[in-house]
Structure 1
Amino acid sequence: MDQNQKTILKSFSPVKVLIPVVLGLGATAWLFIKDDKLGDLKSIADANMWWMAAAILVLIIRDFGYIYRIRALTDKFLSWRNSLDVIMLWEFASAVTPSVVGGTTVATIILNKEGIPLGKSLAYVMLTAVLDNMFFILAAPIVLLATQGEVFPTLGLDPSDVSKLKWAFYISYSLIALYTFLMIYALFVKPRAFKWLLLKITSIGFLRKWRVSAFQHGNEIVWASEQLKGKDKGYWARAILSTIFVWCARYFLLNCLIAAFTDVTLSDHLLIISRNLIFWIVMLIAITPGGAGIVEMAFPSFFGLFLGGFSNVVVVLYRLITYYPYLVLGSIFLPKWIAKVFGRQAKEQEAYASETRR
C-alpha cells in the first residue's frame, strides 16, 4: 500500500472519528443532565425558521467560499468538483484532529494526490494557514478596541475565571502571531535562512534527534517559497478577500442561530461576532479533536448573555450544523476519493510498467 494512502487511512480511522463524537455528545449530555434541562430541547420547535434557514444558507455559502479559495489558490488547476472533494476531506481532517494541529499534513497529501506537485501542495496549505492566522491577528485588536473589553464574558464566571480566560486568549493569540510571522519570514523573506536556523537549533545535543525532520521541513519551506514567487496582485486579492469572506460567514452563522431564539439588536450582532472571534482564538489551543467537548463546555459562558436558558439548545444546534456533518460527509467522500486517486495511480503505474517491458 502507498505510504500516503496509509497516512490518509490512519488519519481517518474509525477510532479517530469516534473520539470527537463521544467527547462532543458526552459534554452536550452533561450540560443538559446536570441542570435537568432535557426539556429545553422542545424549544427547538419554537425557533424562528427563517433564521434557522439563514444559518444553513450561510453554512453553504461559507463552504462555497472555501471551495472558491482553494481553486483560486491553485490557479484553477483544481476543477470545481475536485475543489469540493479537497474541502470536504480537509474539513473532515480538521474535525478529527486537535485544533492546534489541524489537518495540514493530510491536506498536503490530498492536494498532491489531486495532481498538484508536492512543492505547490505545501505552498498552498501553508498559505491558507498564514491567511487564516493573519485574519485572527488583525481582527482581534479591532474587536478588543471596538468593544472596550466587553468581548470577554463575565456572566456566571468568577473574576479569577475571567482572568484565566483572558490569559488563555493572550497566550493563544501570541502563539498564533509568533507562528504566523515565522511562516511569513520563512515563505516570503528568507526561506534558506530559516532552514539554516532550523538546522542550527537541532545541532544542540538534546535536539539532535529532530535534525532529520528539521532538514526535511527546511526543504519543504524552500520548495513552497519557490512556488509562491511571482504571483500577481489579482492572485493575492482573491486569496485575501476570499479568506475574509469565509471567516465572516463562519462567524455570522452563530448570529443566525442566536437570532432564531431571541431578539438580537445590531449592536448585539456585532458583539456576538466579536466574541465569537475571541472564542475561536482561545479554542485554537484546544487539545481535543475539533475542540470536541471543550467547545460545548465553554459555549454557555461566552454566549449565555444573549441566550439565557437557550444556551444549551443553541450549542447543540451549532455543533450539529457546523461540526458533525463534516464527520458524516467526510466518511462519504473519503472512500470515493481514495478509489479515484489511488486507483488512478495504480493504473498509471501499471501502464508505465507495461511500456517499460516493451
Structure 2
Amino acid sequence: MALNEQTLQEQFSLKKVLLPMLLGLSIVGYMLYRNYEPAQLQILRQASPLWLGITLLVLFIRDFGYIYRIRSVTDKALSWRQSFSVIMLWEFASCALPSVVGGSTVAAFMLMKEKIPLGKSIAQVMVTAMLDNLYFVVTVPVVLLMVGSSALPANDVVGEAIRTGLATAFAVSYLLVTLYAFLMGYALLLNPRAVKRLLLRLSRLRWLKRWRLTLFNHANELLIASQHLRHKGAGYWWRASISTAFVWTARYAIIGCLIAAFTQLALQEHILLFSRNLIYKIVLMMSITPGAAGVAEIAFPAFFGMFLGSFTTIVVLLYRLLTYYLYLLMGALVFPRWASRVFSKIGRRADQAAVPAE
C-alpha cells in the first residue's frame, strides 16, 4: 500500500473512528437490551478498587512497554514523545484496519517520517513482529500444559462442532505462526538470501499468483532488514525481548484483572483466563472487520462468560473501552499534531530547496 499524507488522512479520518465504534457499541447495546438486570448496577458499584487500579496499571505497563521497545529497537533515534506518538498511531491503525491487515505497513511509514531511513524502518518493524510471534510460540505450550483442554470454551457453551473448529483453527494458527517466526528469524539473522530465493520460487506457483508482488516485496524487505540487524549486540536483543515479554503478558492478563474486579478469582483461574485469551485473540485475528469490531463483542461471552454470568455484557463494554475505543480516540487526537509536525518539515525542506542561491 502506497502511503502519503492523503492516504494517512483517510486512514485516520472520522469515518475510520466512527464505523468500528458504532458496530461494536451497537452489538453491546443489543446484548445489554437482551440481558440487562437491575442487580447489575449494584455489582458495578461494588467493583474492587484494588483490581480496577491493577487493571489500569497493567494497561499502563503494556503501553509503556510498547513505547520503550520502539525507542529501544530504533537505537533511541526517537524521543520519548515521538515514541508515544508512533505507538498511539500504530495502535490506532491496528484498531481501524481489519485484524488480518494490521498496522505494520503504517508503522514502517511513520518511522520513515520520523527521519529513520526506509531500510531501518522496515527492519525495526520486522524485529517487533518476529519477537511478538516468538512470544506466542513460547508461551502457548507453557500455558496449555497448565490448563489443558480447559483453554477452550465448554461444549455446552459453544457446541462440540464449534469447539472442535476452534481447536483446529488454533492448532493451525500456532503452526503457521511458529513457521513464520522461525523463517523470519532465519532470514533476518542467518541467511536472508536463501529465504529470498524460497519466497521468489513460491511466488511462481500458480495458486500463489495473486500474492506474487507481495512475496517479491517481502523478500526484498527481509534482505534489507537483515543488513541493518546482523551486527546488533546482545544488549539490543535482550532489551527488545524483555520489553516484548512485558507487553504481551500485560496484554493477555488484562482480561483476568478486569474480571477479578467483579468476582473472586484463584490463581489457577487467572491462568485459565490468560490461556483463553490466547485463543480468543486468534479468533479476533481472523475477523475482516476493523479491529475485530463486532466479532470481539460476540465471542467474548463464549470465552469468559462462565466467570461473570449475566454481568458479562458490562465487562465486555469496559474491556473494549480500555483496549479498543481508547486507542481509536487517542489516535484521532494524536494524528493531527503528528502529521502537522512531520509533513510540515517536509514542506519546509522542499521550499528551501526551491529557493535559488544568490
- Measured against aligned partners, the alpha-carbon deviations of 1:282-303 in whole angstroms (never above 9, x if no partner) come to 3222222111111111111111
Which residue is equivalent to 2:23? 23
- The one-letter amino acid of 1:137's match is V
Q: State the one-letter code of the partner of 1:285.
A: M
Structure 2 match to 1:256: 257
Task: Tell me the residue number matched to 2:84.
Answer: 84
From the superposition, tell whether residues 216 and 277 of structure 1 become closer, same or farther in structure 2 (CA, over 3 Å): closer
1:262–1:222 Cα change, 3 Å: same
Are 2:90 and 1:93 aligned? no
Residues in 1 aligned to 2:219 and 2:38: alpha-carbon distance in whole angstroms: 53
Instruction: Tell me, in whole angstroms, the C-alpha distance in 2 between the residues paired with 1:175 and 1:19.
Output: 31
Counterpart secondary structure, 1:156: helix
Q: How many residues align?
A: 356
Secondary structure, aligned partner of 1:331: helix
Could you tell me whether the CA contact under 8 Å between 1:172 and 1:285 is conserved in 2?
Answer: no
Judged with a 3 Å threshold, the aligned counterparts in structure 2 of structure 1 residues 78 and 38 are, in CA distance, closer, same or farther, namely farther
> Partners in 2 of 1:255 and 1:208 — Cα distance?
43
Alignment of 1:177-326 (within 5 A): 177-204=178-205, 211-326=212-327
Q: CA deviation at 1:209?
A: 6.6
**Separation in 1, partners of 2:158, 2:215:** 43
CA contact (8 A) 1:173 1:281 kept: no
d(CA) in 2 for partners of 1:42, 1:25: 22
What is the TM-score normalised by the length of structure 1? 0.93
8 Å contact 1:71–1:83 — kept in the other structure?
yes
Pairs within 5 Å for 1:33-182: 33-37=33-37, 40=40, 43-154=43-154, 156-182=157-183
Query: Which runs of no fewer than 5 residues in structure 1 stay unpaired?
Result: none
Q: RMSD across aligned C-alpha pairs, in angstroms?
A: 2.1
Tell which deviates more after alignment, 230-239 or 8-17: 8-17
Q: Whole-Å Cα distance in 2 between the matches of residues 48 and 204 of structure 1?
A: 57
Contact 2:95 2:290 in 1 (8 A): yes
Change (3 A) 1:55 1:213: closer
Separation (CA, whole Å) in 2 of partners of 1:169 and 1:137 = 12
Partner AA of 1:303 in structure 2: F
Cα 1:347–1:39 change in 2 (3 A) is farther
Query: Structure 1 41/196 Cα, relative in aligned 2: closer, same or farther at 3 Å?
Result: farther
Deviations 1:57-79 (A, max 9, x none): 22112111110010111111111
Q: Does the 8 Å contact 2:59/2:254 carry over to 1?
A: yes
Alpha carbons of structure 1 residues 343 and 304: separation in structure 2 relative to 1, 3 Å? same
What is the alpha-carbon distance in structure 2 between the residues aligned to residue 133 and residue 20 of structure 1?
26
Q: Which moved more, 1:73-82 or 1:205-214?
A: 205-214
CA distance change for structure 1 residues 203 and 278 in 2, over 3 Å: closer, same or farther?
Answer: closer
Percent of residue pairs identical: 49
Greater CA deviation, 259-268 or 146-155? 146-155
- Summarize deviations over 1:293-326 as a string: whole Å, max 9, x none: 1111111111122222221111110001111011
CA distance in 2, matches of 1:52, 1:213: 44
Distance 1:357 1:214, change over 3 A: farther
Give the counterpart letter for 1:195 in structure 2. Answer: K
Deviation, structure 1 residue 22 = 2.0
Asked if the contact 1:62/1:246 (under 8 Å) is kept, the reply is yes
Change beyond 3 A, Cα 1:283–1:209? closer
CA shift in 2, pair 1:295/1:209, >3 Å: closer
- Provide the secondary structure at the position in 2 that maps to 1:323: helix
CA distance in structure 2 between the partners assigned to 1:17 and 1:252 by the alignment: 26
**Deviation of 1:194 (Å):** 2.5
The 2-side partners of 1:327 and 1:157 are apart by 30
Q: CA separation of 1:132/1:350 partners in 2, compared to 1, >3 Å: closer, same or farther?
A: same
Does the CA-based 8 Å contact 1:41-1:313 persist in structure 2?
A: no
Q: CA deviation at 1:218?
A: 2.3
What amino acid sits opposite 1:158 in the alignment? G
